[in-house]
Amino acid sequence: MKNIVVLISGNGSNLQAIIDACKQKKINATIRAVFSNKAEAFGLERAREAGIPAHVLTADLFASREAFDRELMQEIDAYAPDVVVLAGYMRILSPAFVEHFAGRLLNIHPSLLPKYPGLHTHRQALENGDTEHGTSVHFVTDELDGGPVILQAKVPVFAGDTEDDVTARVQTQEHAIYPLVVSWLIEGRLVMRDNSAWLDGVRLPPQGHAYE
Ligand code: GRF
């Protein structure tokens, strides 16, 4: 059985989607542990509820980002993960961390990358009058929200939408596409090579596979 470790900072609804997909055998792997950099993250409750070891590691105990990431890396390695999933993990990763897990480190970002890297993506989509928005699952590289995109899902933006409306619409898509991509990586169908994502031996276009 393959091993997954999930990193969170908050609500953990994407973690929940992955927990559920493992239970339903849509992902053929075990979530061995969940780590949060926030003690109050609700996702820790979700992990405990599912019987998954839930750990908190807060940055204030460390002198530098590198020291924090070194400790986190060691604790993650103890679970021998085949895949490390960032699910709303709100911390910049050090280059050493990214390099150590390269090719098995995934993130989900709530925009149609390369549009809107960084924070407040839903607000930006609304402010710019976009009629289309979405979410992207990508391999993590040193460039913030800039690694090869694997899968994107689009959602419409309607006149009068609030940020909450858009967030909810995007999250529904996230809960469908993130478990799917995790299952591809677990099954060995997905690899990162030459700064691209490859699925079943085919190089994916820069914006990944479209989820229809
Ligand atoms: C998601 O919208 C994800 O795209 C972003 O952070 C959010 C996390 O939500 N990276 P949750 O904690 O999984 O509910």
The CATH number that applies at residue 82 is 3.40.50.170
For residue 14, pLDDT over 90 is answered with yes
Rounded mean pLDDT, 150-171: 97
Q: Give the number of domains in the chain.
A: 1
- 109 catalytic? Reply is yes
Rounded Cα distance, 33 and 83, in Å? 11
Q: Parallel, antiparallel, or unpaired: how do β-strands 2-8 and 83-86 relate?
A: parallel
How far is Cα of residue 48 from the mean position of the Cα atoms in its chain?
Answer: 20
Pair 89, 7: CB distance under 8 Å: yes
For residue 210, pLDDT over 80 is answered with no
Residues with CB under 6 A from ligand 1: 8, 10-14, 43, 87-88, 108-110, 135, 171, 174
Return the pLDDT at 63: 97
Distance (angstroms) between ligand 1 centre and the Cα of 107 equals 10
Q: Which residues contact 24 (CB under 8 A, 6 or more apart)?
A: none
Confidence of residue 212 (pLDDT cuts 50, 70, 90): low
Domain around 43: 2-210
Distance (angstroms) between ligand 1 centre and the Cα of 198 equals 24
